[in-house]
Chains A and B, each alone.
Chain A
Amino acid sequence: MKTRISFNITFVLLFIFTSCADDFLDENPRNIIAPENLYVNKAGFEFGLNGLYSRVRYERNGANGGSNVLNNSAMVIGVDNAYSMMPAGGSIEAFLNTWGTTMVSTNGYLRDTWEWLYGVVNAANTIIIRAENPDVQWSSTEKNQVIAEAKLIRAWAYRHLTFLFGAVPLNLEESSGTNIKTDWERTPVSVIRTAMENDLLFAEQNLSDPAPYDGRVSKAVASHYLAELYLTVGKYQAAKDKAASVVNNALYGLTKTRFSSQSAKPGTPFTDMFLDNNANRSAGNKEVLWVLQNEYLSNGGDGNIMRRWYVNRYAEIQIGSKRPVTFSIENGGRGLGRFSVTKYGLLIYENNDDRGSYFGWRKFYRYNNSASLPPKSNLGDTLVLLTGTGPAHLRGFNAVPNETVGNTASNRLRPSTTKWDYAPSIPEDVQNSNNYNDQIYLRVADTYLLLAEAQFYLNDLAGAAATINLIRARANATPITASQVTLDFILDERSRELWSEEHRRYTLLRTGTWFDRTKKFNLIAGKVITLRDTIFPIPQVVIDANLSKTMSQNPGW
């Protein structure tokens, strides 16, 4: 009996000791996506590309997915035509007004921006490198299409990085936990631009025209960015060729007629494009090159804060003790008036220009708050912002005061753009913080103006005037003559056409005009900026984490 027992126990022990094989401690997570199990087939690479697009879309979101700090702040304000009207205290938009000692290398926004863009770079690198894995079963067309999109978005990220920070490390590798680098080096901007050119040329060669569906990039997007890149590096003929290839492409063209369901209502072809449901090529909008996709009540819908940032705080307009204007869809939804147009930006439209009309800029509100009507007034009464003299559609503009900042009553009366209007149609949700509409990111009008710029540099002033006049004609603005074409005129025209759409800071940097024009036209930041502010400081964390090699800071920071 006893020997039996001990035999049994020995057996049990042996069993238990040996059955716990080594793989007991191996992790086989069911719910985690890792590079090794994602990039194995075409679908996996497509998932990777979707991740990239999602991060491009992030440009118009709040920092870290919240509803504050617009990620593209530094790209669009602190320039000649835009500033922060009602900044949140201590935020990046406040510092883009005040610069000086408030803009420092430890600023969290700059750090977040660097992290975001290099996150895109690393994700794109991972796709580009892993696409060469011979185990993946796909055709070379499929493979090149994936690599092309990843390369275009990588170039997109370096475009931001070089314009914002100057010479940054050129990272073309997939990051790995076993190879943490502490000796990054800053790559000369020219070298980075060569890499961008290569990426964009590859993309141009391998992408389809138009894109397979809304939201993805096409060959034309690659050509557009190549045109801009060549303008930046002074290759004007190449720039002209690339821009012309898009402008002359019959697939794309300016929206010259009213379209879509809203076309029966008063409006203009120009402003039609920004109305809800009109942004996409599939909706009949042939002018768009790249549209960011959002969706209300959808798990992939995301939502950006463009309207929150650009629509003014009309519900706080006080008449006596009353607040007769309240949140509504026709007022654009609920806004915080964080960003606004400078006096310069507002006054550069001529009377008949659609882009400056009250369809493009909110110049009056109608009383819609029955709970708070001033004495002797009715619902529907018009509240004209800043009354003054002049043509009806511009009324008040002459009386627009200089830029104001902060919690003042007068800035609630400042006109705001209608490009980013949006409110969910559910009445109780009209105060929602986010936009969920599809938004134009890049359109061919921008390419026209790149073409005009190239023509200007190539001294083809007549050609430039002709190109610009195509844009102006669509907006009912008076045609110009070749003698009127100057760089300043092109920049004015870009502001009229692309206000709050283009990365104005990059446009000014490309043309070497940021400092002078901002000083001249931005009455807030213009007083304080110095040449140091032409490029932002390298985020301190980048310098601090570079433990084994000193990384130089940009001059003056």
Chain B
Amino acid sequence: MKAKKMKSLILLFFLGLLATNFVSAQSRVIKGTVIDENKEALVGVNVLMKGSDIGTTTGLTGEFSLETTMENPTLVFSYVGYKTKEILVKNELILLVSLAPDLTTLSEVVVIGYGTQKKSDLTGSVVSLSKERLSQLPNANFAQALQGSVPGLQINTNSGGSEGNELSILIRGRNSINAGNGPLIILDGIPYVGGISEINPADIESIEVLKDASAAAIYGSRGSNGIILITTKRGSNEKVSITYDGFYGIQQIARRPDLLTGEEFYNFKTTRINSPGTITQTEKAVYESGNFVDWYDLATRQGSRGQHSLSISGGSEKASFYLGATYLDVSGIAVNDDFKRYTLRPNLDVEVTPWLKIGSSSQLSFQDRTGLPVEFSDSRNTGGGANFFNPLTKPYNPDGSIAIYAWPEYNQARNPLSPLLVDNYDYGYRVFSANYAEIKLPLKGLTYKFNTGIEFEANDRKTYYGRNTAIGFQSGGTAETYHSIEKNLTVENILNYSKTFGSHSLNFTGLYSSQSNVFDRDDLEGQNFPSDVLTNYQMSSALLLQPSSTYFKQNLLSQMIRVNYGFNSKYLLTMTARRDGFSGFGSGTKYGVFPSASLGWNVHKENFMRNLSFVSQFKFRASYGLNGNQGVGSYQSLARLSYRPYLNGTTILAGYLPVSLANPDLGWESTKSLNLGLDFGFFEGKIQGSIDYYQNRTFDLLLNRTISPTHGINSILQNIGETQNNGIELGINSTNIDGPQLKWTTGFNISHNKNAIVDLYGDGKDDLASRWFIGQPIRVNFNLLYDGIFKSQEEIKATPWAAATDKPGYVKVVDVNGDNLINAFDRTIIGQLDPKLIWGLTNTFSHKGFTLMIFIHGQRGVTKENPLQLDNVFTDVARNTINKDWWSADKNPNGTHFANDANANYRGVNFYEDASFLRIKDISLAYNFSNKGKNPFGVQSSKLYFTARNLATFTKYEGLDPEFTNQYGIPLQREWLVGLTVGF
């Protein structure tokens, strides 16, 4: 829209001069041209005569003309993204006004996929993550920067651990029941399939989140769960600069479960009713010696996280580069939970000729996950792992080595520390390279871009369990060798055409692309070796070898057309259509077409808004469209046989049995979504934000429909069922104080989502087995409802449903259907697992060189099971539990927790708690040194910072952590980090 060059401006200037001859003396016409910092014309600038209602907007060449009788009028020039300018006009008839960009407001160009767009021209719901948010905090991965900062984006940390990879990302709620719900991640224009932790956050320049159908439609087939666009840093055509950033910090356990000590456990075990409770000899000996084991202590440590990153960027007129190298080293709070990452990023852009530009951005990374962490989790160890291991046991042999069985009488449970003895290495190698060539075609405004992306990851893992571990002891040594390769190739042809004619502006983008993804895995497990000496390198002498392999390939073929039309920058229209073909679908239904349309209206550019000078932006957006979710892997539409071998003597005979039916009609899961948005900015952008309302309806869900098992097969993957998400989102950024001494800015966002299953299998029936209920959110708790405990025999007598087995101290439940009988029909929905409300609040204060940032994040409307409330100790009290206020008729008649009796909760009631929380996620204090004076090292800028993470959490939830899905695992870590950034 600022297409004309300087030449035409000068011509216009002379034309303007000529025109003045015809103006009368009393009322004069003030004419002029408005240009930007690059001396290009600005179209649609509001020009207002201060103190009057006379005003106009600039035309296509940036020109304006105003008639006035005022002697010395003041003209106010305002334009979104630029600083408002006031000019006192004395005698001049012709003005050349230059507006300076206002970097703090909406001038930014945002990445929208297959191109960029000025934020003011957006019609869809696109949120850019502020640069401060990316640079201010030493994040381990980009998802940590996104958490709580984008309305409608829910990031859940599912468990603790050094890598921080156990998280899930949901944009605008959960659409799909069976298929994936994670957004599509696009890295430098290329779909990225790797792990979140494998992108180096230090290299990221910007992140955009595309939320509505219109914005995501360009990735149509995979857009229904939203898109995250990540752009890495590039060089600029300036002199070379070098930046070093390094931080180091410690990690501590944020919350430790209150486990029973050896003494308490002994009492618990010996007083437990209805359980054999025999104290074994080991337990007895440990109890008598008083050398109780604090397994939690043995399994955890003070962790650390350190990173060094060095980047060099620069360029000449024709070429620019960015080179970043980073080393990250994390020692998690669980012993032996280590993660190291080495990355190198060379990015390059070269203007080969005036019509050809080529560029490359790559990431080479090496992930080292060597070492098996101690066993924490419940499921991996029947003794309960380090969490619940019996404290009356012996972790070490008399010689100090780690015992095979810490509790010899119960050798079903292995020593949780035994992973420390396991020989393991675990390496991941990843290459991600996006390369383009952009050609300006002879027709003005027409460019062709050839874009390719290649992603390659190899994972290499060897593990040996020797006879000094329980696994190796029982099997005579177990060796596991794992090797996988993943390849992802994208080829894109993008044609772009931009033209402005009159007040109209038009942009056309066309795409033809293909993507291919291959995964190939080989796995070999060997058991029973002559000795442990040769570890993994003796597979040939194993008595039992179990190889396994996986292979899949999926291809995607796409065509897309996008048209952006703007009239005077006031009325904006975007129309997109994408057609995708996916190899995994049935032969007749591989292709899906996903159209969308959206409108934008920059109300603040209308004449009637001219007087409301405090409004710097007011824009309505509306979009409606269809997106898809391929959501399933390869070969799901084909009939398959599974491997069921048989034997002849010792010879294995391959055997196969039909296990799935072909579905040649399998096709796209689709989401229709409506988005209504309002962007606003007041007081020259001091307050700005947006409100969005959306309605997503997902249909043709990829669901396993239950069929009569008389077919010999129980279900078939079909497109059935429907879900719905409605929500509202608000994001506000404000500059509260902007003084010379103190600057205070606030960023706040909040979103509410209502999720519901509309239909499942077309018969209006709930799926009890899967806990899916029509009209309810996809993920709900469903169980008997706890109702306190019986405190007396009289209370039991007065309870009609009570059975002969019920006793004082036993769990009471709610007889939901009131039939005086407690059974499966009394199970009821107990809250939802995805939050109804998520929010984030960031306050930043700057004073002289100091910047203080406080970030708080919260969720509301979540109910989670708290498994720690149960005494999951097994009949013979083989495991520890956490301290509780156990009811007892004589010793503790006011106890709140059910009795220490193996049968007290015989109906298997679970405990559900409100898992809403407010977390002080980050507090960061930075000091920017003044580098005005000369210094011998040529330091241009330097910053010292201190960050505390996960400082405090406020919640009613009493499990390990309200955000986690696994309440038995490695706990959340609190971090204290100090870092330094120096630029040369």
Point out residues on A near B: beta carbons under 8 Å.
2, 5-6, 9, 12-13, 16-17, 20, 24-27, 29-36, 38, 46-55, 57, 111, 114-115, 118-123, 125-126, 168-169, 171, 175-178, 180-182, 184, 213-215, 282, 293-295, 297-301, 318, 321, 371-372, 407, 426, 428-429, 431, 539, 541-542, 544-547
Pairwise interchain contact B710-A33, C-beta atoms closer than 8 A: no
Known pairs A33-B641, A180-B716, A181-B711; A298 contacts B652 (CB<8 A): yes
B649 at the interface (CB under 8 A from A): yes
Interface centre among B544, B549, B635, B641 (most CB of A within 10 A): B641
CA distance A306 to B716 in the complex (A): 33
Choose from B448, B650, B658 the contact partner of A126 (Cβ within 8 Å). Answer: B658
CA distance A282 to B647 in the complex (A): 14
B514 at the interface (CB under 8 A from A): yes
Pairwise interchain contact A25-B713, C-beta atoms closer than 8 A: no
CA distance A34 to B661 in the complex (A): 10
> Closest B-chain residue to A296, C-beta based?
B544
Known pairs A9-B448, A54-B644, A300-B652; A171 contacts B582 (CB<8 A): no
Contacts of A47 in B (CB 8 A): 653-656
B271 at the interface (CB under 8 A from A): no
18 sampled A-B residue pairs with Cβ under 8 A: A9-B441, A9-B448, A24-B514, A27-B584, A29-B552, A35-B641, A38-B641, A48-B657, A50-B644, A52-B655, A52-B657, A55-B657, A178-B662, A180-B661, A213-B649, A293-B646, A321-B278, A544-B706
B663 at the interface (CB under 8 A from A): yes
Pairwise interchain contact B476-A426, C-beta atoms closer than 8 A: yes
Q: Which of B626-682 contact A (CB under 8 A)?
A: 634-635, 637-641, 643-650, 652-659, 661-665
> Closest A-chain residue to B284, C-beta based?
A321
Pairwise interchain contact A297-B528, C-beta atoms closer than 8 A: yes
Q: Mark B569-588, 1 if CB is under 8 A from A, else 0.
A: 00000000000011110010
Interface centre among B528, B551, B647 (most CB of A within 10 A): B647
> Closest B-chain residue to A12, C-beta based?
B450
Contacts of B512 in A (CB 8 A): 13, 16-17
Point out residues on B near A: beta carbons under 8 Å.
278, 281, 355, 411-412, 439, 441-442, 448, 450, 473-476, 491, 493, 512, 514, 527-528, 543-546, 549-553, 555, 557, 581-584, 587, 590, 634-635, 637-641, 643-650, 652-659, 661-665, 706-714, 716, 763, 765, 875
Choose from B278, B491, B641, B645 the contact partner of A300 (Cβ within 8 Å). Answer: B645
Choose from B590, B647, B714 the contact partner of A25 (Cβ within 8 Å). Answer: B590
CA distance A51 to B637 in the complex (A): 22
Pairwise interchain contact A177-B662, C-beta atoms closer than 8 A: yes
Contacts of B474 in A (CB 8 A): 428-429
Choose from B278, B637, B662, B763 the contact partner of A547 (Cβ within 8 Å). Answer: B763
CA distance A446 to B474 in the complex (A): 39
Pairwise interchain contact A545-B658, C-beta atoms closer than 8 A: no
Pairwise interchain contact B706-A541, C-beta atoms closer than 8 A: yes
CA distance A431 to B559 in the complex (A): 60
Pairwise interchain contact B646-A57, C-beta atoms closer than 8 A: yes
Pairwise interchain contact A122-B278, C-beta atoms closer than 8 A: no
Add 4 more A-B contacts to A122-B658, A177-B662, A293-B646 (CB < 8 A): A12-B450, A55-B657, A180-B716, A541-B714
Known pairs A9-B439, A184-B708; A301 contacts B641 (CB<8 A): no
Pairwise interchain contact B647-A293, C-beta atoms closer than 8 A: yes
Closest CB of chain B to A217's CB: distance in Å? Answer: 12
CA distance A428 to B654 in the complex (A): 30
Closest CB of chain A to B704's CB: distance in Å? Answer: 12
CA distance A321 to B646 in the complex (A): 46
Known pairs A13-B493, A428-B473; A119 contacts B646 (CB<8 A): no
CA distance A372 to B279 in the complex (A): 12
Contacts of A169 in B (CB 8 A): 710
Known pairs A26-B583, A115-B714; A48 contacts B543 (CB<8 A): no
Closest CB of chain A to B201's CB: distance in Å? Answer: 35
Pairwise interchain contact A118-B709, C-beta atoms closer than 8 A: yes
Closest CB of chain B to A27's CB: distance in Å? Answer: 5
Contacts of B664 in A (CB 8 A): 177-178
Pairwise interchain contact A371-B544, C-beta atoms closer than 8 A: no
CA distance A407 to B763 in the complex (A): 44
> Closest B-chain residue to A538, C-beta based?
B710
CA distance A175 to B634 in the complex (A): 22
Contacts of A298 in B (CB 8 A): 544, 647, 650, 652
Contacts of A184 in B (CB 8 A): 708, 710
Contacts of A294 in B (CB 8 A): 647
Closest CB of chain B to A310's CB: distance in Å? Answer: 20
CA distance A105 to B754 in the complex (A): 36
Known pairs A25-B582, A122-B712, A297-B527; A175 contacts B649 (CB<8 A): no
Choose from B493, B528, B640, B708 the contact partner of A33 (Cβ within 8 Å). Answer: B640
Known pairs A176-B661, A293-B647, A298-B650; A51 contacts B549 (CB<8 A): no
Pairwise interchain contact A177-B716, C-beta atoms closer than 8 A: yes
CA distance A194 to B635 in the complex (A): 39
Which 7 pairs of residues, A with B, have the shortest CB-CB distance?
A122-B712, A50-B655, A300-B652, A177-B661, A300-B645, A51-B657, A51-B655
Interface centre among B583, B649, B657, B706 (most CB of A within 10 A): B657
Contacts of A546 in B (CB 8 A): 708
Choose from B638, B661, B713 the contact partner of A32 (Cβ within 8 Å). Answer: B638
Pairwise interchain contact A20-B557, C-beta atoms closer than 8 A: yes
> Closest A-chain residue to B546, C-beta based?
A299
Pairwise interchain contact B656-A51, C-beta atoms closer than 8 A: yes
CA distance A48 to B644 in the complex (A): 9
Closest CB of chain B to A543's CB: distance in Å? Answer: 9
Closest CB of chain B to A68's CB: distance in Å? Answer: 14
CA distance A429 to B655 in the complex (A): 28
Interface centre among A51, A115, A295, A544 (most CB of B within 10 A): A51
Contacts of B712 in A (CB 8 A): 115, 118-123, 125, 171, 175
> Closest B-chain residue to A27, C-beta based?
B583
> Closest B-chain residue to A407, C-beta based?
B875
